[in-house]
Amino acid sequence: MILQRIFALILLAVCAALAVMAWPYQAAFSYEPVGPRAYPLLMLGLMSLGLLYMAIRPTPIVHKDDEPALDKATLTKIAACIGLLLIFAATFESLGFILSAILAGVPMARLYGGRWLHSAIVVVGMSLFLYWLFDRVMDVPLPLGLLSVLEN
């Protein structure tokens, strides 16, 4: 139980440091009414509340028998997820949102048991829908990258 509390307190300190780093951020332009720093501060605040609860809760977190074990297969999936998210971040500007989401999304779906055809259809559909939602409905511009030749 003491290790859980120490872990929570260390992550709470990391959240505080990241909040201090994010607080003074001001973008040269803003297309949102609250500005670009609201999202990271909100996420850090929510994470801090959860970590604070973890640090002061009276009983330890007990794992049940029906929960998956933290074995080599699970750790491999976690590492693959992190790798795919890094690929998405690295290709976001150059390939654009749609292609980078497809490049990361299809292997992610396959990683969790999706079949090739179903994974490809769902990921392509979600990528196009999310691009439309952000770009047209919420007026948040996302890069098109290599697909910018299709833009009218």
Assess contact for 140 and 34: CB atoms under 8 A.
no
Question: Residues 19-30: pLDDT tens digits?
Answer: 998 888 776 665
> If you average pLDDT over residues 13-42, what whole number do you get?
77
Structural domain including 51 reads 1-62
Summarize the confidence of residues 130-145 as an average pLDDT. Answer: 83
pLDDT at 26: 74
| Domain match, 45 and 78 both | no
Structure tokens at 118: 């179903």
| Shared domain check, 81 and 53 | no
**How much is the pLDDT for 152?**
63
The confidence score (pLDDT) of residue 66 equals: 74
* Lowest-confidence region among 43-52, 76-85, 134-143: 134-143
Q: Do 102 and 52 sit in the same domain of this protein?
A: no
- Both 30 and 101 in one domain: the answer is no
Q: How many residues does the structure list for the chain?
A: 152
CB–CB of 71/93 below 8 Å? no
Examine the domain organization and report whether 84 and 57 are in the same domain. Answer: no
pLDDT surpassing 70 at residue 113: yes
Which of 40, 62, 84 is the C-terminal boundary of a domain? Answer: 62
Judgement on whether residues 33 and 84 belong to the same structural domain of the protein: no
Do 140 and 87 belong together in one domain? yes
Residues 74 and 58 in one domain: no
Q: Over range 76-89, report the average pLDDT.
A: 93
> Which of 58-72, 74-88, 92-106 has the weakest average pLDDT?
58-72
pLDDT at residue 34 tops 80: no
Domain count, the chain: 2
Buried b (16+ CB within 10 A) or exposed e, 14-38: ebeebbeebeeeeeeeeeeeeeebe
Q: Is the same domain home to 141 and 113?
A: yes
Q: Cα 21 vs. chain centroid, distance in angstroms? A: 19
pLDDT digit string, tens, across residues 56-69: 887 766 777 777 77
pTM, to two decimals: 0.63
- Whether residues 52 and 122 share a domain: the answer is no
